[in-house]
Amino acid sequence: MDARSRHLLSRRIGVVQVLVLAGLAFLVCFYGWLQIVRHGEFEKQALSQAVKERALPAPRGIIFDRNGDPLADNRRALHLVIQREDLPADPTVVTDLATALGLDPAETARKIRSFRQAPKGRPLVLMENLDEGGIALAERVRARYPFLSVQVAPRRVYLGDDLAGHVMGYVSEVDDQMMAKDPGRYQLGEIVGRAGYEDSGDAKLKGVDGEKRVLVDQLGREVASLDRTDPKPGKSLYLTLDAGLQRTAKDAFGDEKGAAVVLDLRDGGVLAMYSSPGYDPNLFLDRLSQEMVDRYLRNPVRPMLNRATQGIYAPGSTWKLLMALAGLEHHVITPHTVFYCGGHKSFYGHDFRCDATHGSLDLIGAIAKSCDIYFYEVASRLDIDQIYETAAKYGLTVPTGIDLPSERASRVPSREWKRRVKKEKWYAGETISVGIGQGAVGLTPLAIARFYALLATQGKEFTPHLFFGFQDPKTGQREPEPAPPTRQVDTANPEWWGVLHEGMAHVVESGTAATNPFVRQVAKEVPFSGKTGTSQVTTFVDKAHYAQLAKHLKDNSLFAGYAPTDKPQIAFAVVVENAGFGSEAAAPIAAKLIQYWFVDRIKHPLPPPGGRVPDAFHLEPGEED
């Protein structure tokens, strides 16, 4: 290379050197700007996309019966979920995804849209309670849509199946209506009690959800857990219900419709409450299928109705005890007043009939033989408002206050009631029908049971209740809570109780209930007292429906009372719809309940509900899911 070339080259390479150094200097400045000046901003972005909050759903409290056998427990369930930040926006993705999972695309799109306002951390549940096939499908679809994840969550299981559906109720995701009715109370996607004790005891049973912060990768998969606040499980508690007695009631009803309530005379605790037909709350945990809606919610038989607290039945002759008290308190009869029953009698120009021609009867005989004429005579001497006043005094005009949602108040007519509801004045002739528990009178089986508990205890008015106390699910340690207070209702003359008790004892010994051999057989072992009733079907379900349903419009059969006769421990009411005389259907069911409670329970107790043990979900701290 010649010297001139070398000289030229050297100068020009010098320029290249300067360019290279300038380029490097530019890069250093640019990186310094990103890594030093703007470091904080990028650090925050890196964290916010990698660290996510996830809700840890708290298991609900376990519900035990009075003997410590679980009625409602939790087990692990797997749900296919999408975290809120991963909700797909592209409608074709949503459609493909729904199709791949076998879901309705329009419904899925609606769900995703409405979930965008959901609180942080709570995922959208696409498919609930995956079974093995569901898990396999979910894993397959997840390969294509990695934003899907499978969440472990506690899920309710009702061990008795349809043993006490109406009492237990069920839980499910809060719906739009509930959200709208009580804004701010619920969070979207929250699991809440929707019926029965799950609803009324929701505050006790519900735990506090935990939360964890996790590292997620670019596909939204959890890579590591940073920290967590463990969920606080809801309080476990036990009810006054006895699963064995409940089973007896359910079995006794078979295919009949109606309700039975048994109350504990020590504190008003509900020992059994069965409404027939029953339902299995396990079927109501997920979104309801059309078939379920048709079968349960649109069924004219109304299986979801708790007939014990929401069914209004004409009490028929079980009402006669209230009429006796009304007559005594308003001094139109004494315990020794005798009326003559000629089989029929005319009041206000109408002919009223009795089942038989009883001849001369005093109050005890009239109760024992259930003479209608005697109580027509009592009613004809009373004003409807006097009857209402006595009914109000003995607690029949208000709801019982049981800790179950949507209890209906019984209906006892008065002048004011008729004016308000029917916009008409009261006719004295109407009072005569009320005398035998027909006409406008309508009581819930629970109200009847509470009235008979009051009769048995000489005026104790209980607040029927299901909640007994809290129970530690692991140690079984119990903390009973005080029962709701009782009220003493005093009559003008305590001797009257004796007369009424004698009348009710005669009903079983030799009166209207004694016609049934099974009733006689049980009464021999456990003497009990009560009153039969046979009432015409009234307004409980409208008549048009009934005409379609029932081929023959038989009367409702009722029996209410207490046992044992001497030192009463339980009171009960049984209503069997369209089953004829009280002694034919209702009294034998009551007898079965008495037989179980006082005889079989000790000798051969029924096995615990379901008899199967769930793999219980007791979240341990630090357990990874």
Partner 1 sequence: MLRRLRAADGRLLLLILALLFMGTLTLYSAGRGTSQSNLWMKQTAWNAAGLLLMTLMASVDPTRLFRKSLLIYAVGILSLVAVLLIGHRIGGAKRWLAIGSQTFQPSELMKWVTLLFVAHRLGTRPMDRVEGRDLLGAAAIVVFPMLLVLKQPDLGMALSFTPILLLLPLMKGLRKRTLALMLVMLPVIGVVAWKKVLRPYQKDRVRIFLDPERDPQGKGYQITQSRIAIGAGGILGKGFTGGSQTQLNYLPVKTTDFVFAVWAEERGFLGVLIALGLYGALLLRLLEGARAAKTLAESYYCTGAAGIFAMHIFVNVGMVAGALPNKGIALPFFSYGGSSTLSVFLALGVVMGALHRARIR
Q: Could you list the residues that contact partner 1 (CB under 8 A)?
A: 1-2, 4-5, 8-10, 12-13, 16-17, 20-21, 23-24, 26-28, 30-32, 34-36, 38-39, 41-43, 45-47, 49-50, 215-219, 223
Q: How far apart are CA 603 and CA 591, in angstroms?
A: 17
Locus of tokens 């290279």: 20
**How many Cα atoms occupy the beta-carbon half-sphere of 181 within 13 Å?**
5
Measured CA to CA, the distance from residue 197 to residue 62 in angstroms comes to 12
Measured from the CB of residue 16, what is the shortest distance to partner 1 in angstroms?
Answer: 6
d(CA 485, CA 401): 11
DSSP secondary structure string, 288-342? Answer: PPHHHIIIIIS-TT-TTS-HHHH--B--GGGGHHHHHHHHHHTTS--TT--EEE-
Q: How far is the CB of 47 from partner 1 (least distance, A)?
A: 8
For the CB of residue 611, give the shortest distance to partner 1 in the complex, in Å: 48
Q: Whose structure tokens read 């699991």?
A: 191
Q: ω into residue 588 within 30 of 0, thus cis?
A: no
Q: Which is nearer to partner 1, 83 or 414 (CB)?
A: 83
Taking the least distance from each CB to partner 1, the nearer of 45 and 229 is 45
CA quadruple 491, 561, 499, 390: dihedral sign = positive
Closest distance between partner 1 and the C-beta of residue 224, in Å? 9
Please, what is the minimum distance in Å from the beta carbon of residue 219 to partner 1? 7
Taking the complex as a whole, how short is the minimal distance between the CB of residue 92 and partner 1, in angstroms? 16
**Cα pseudo-dihedral 13, 14, 15, 17, rounded to 10:** 90
Of 45 and 299, which has the nearer Cβ to partner 1?
45
Write down the residue that tokens 């809060």 correspond to: 174
Contact 369, 509 (CB under 8 A): no
Give the nearest distance from C-beta 78 to partner 1 in angstroms. 25
Question: For residues 89 and 602, which CB has a smaller minimum distance to partner 1 in the complex?
Answer: 89
State the minimum distance, in angstroms, from the CB of residue 87 to partner 1. Answer: 13
Report residue 300 as tokens: 């004219």
At 607, the amino acid letter reads: P
Question: Which CB atom, from 48 or from 289, has the smaller least distance to partner 1?
Answer: 48
Residue 555 tokens, joined:
């009367």
> From residue 546, how far is each of 275, 501, 540, 543, 578 by CA, in Å?
18, 36, 10, 5, 10
Minimum Å distance from CB 218 to partner 1? 4
Of 456, 410, 394, nearest to 315 (Cα)?
A: 410
How remote is the C-alpha of 509 from its chain's centroid? Answer: 37
Output the smallest distance, CB 13 to partner 1, in A: 5
Cβ proximity to partner 1, 93 vs 137, nearer residue? 93
- Could you give the residue ranges of the DSSP H alpha helices within 397-444? 415-422, 428-434
| CB nearer partner 1, residue 45 or residue 289 | 45
Distance in Å, CB of 212 to partner 1, minimum:
17
Which H/E stretch holds residue 8?
helix 3-32
Alpha carbons within 13 angstroms on the beta-carbon side of residue 369 total 20
Residue whose CB is less far from partner 1, 110 or 144: 144
Where would I find the H helices in 201-306? 202-205, 243-253, 290-292
| CA 585 – CA 257 distance, rounded (Å) | 11
Closest C-alpha among 323, 322, 358 to residue 341: 358
Q: Residue 45 or 99: which CB sits closer to partner 1?
A: 45
Compare residues 92 and 548 and give the one whose CB is closer to partner 1.
92
Closer residue to partner 1 in complex, CB, 21/428: 21
Q: Which is nearer to partner 1, 8 or 550 (CB)?
A: 8
Report the run of H or E that residue 112 belongs to, with start and end: helix 105-114
Rounded to an integer, what distance in angstroms lies between the CA atom of residue 444 and that of residue 423? 24
| Phi, psi angles (nearest 5°) of residue 289 | -80, 165
At its nearest, how many Å lie between partner 1 and the CB of residue 608?
A: 49
Nearer to partner 1, 44 or 344 (CB): 44
> Contact, 196 vs 169, CB < 8 A?
yes
Residues in the chain: 625
Q: How far is CA 444 from the centre of its chain?
A: 16
Shorter beta-carbon distance to partner 1: residue 28 or 550: 28
CB of 116 to partner 1, least distance (A): 16
Shortest gap between Cβ of 38 and partner 1 (angstroms)?
5
Tokens describing residue 18: 């300067």
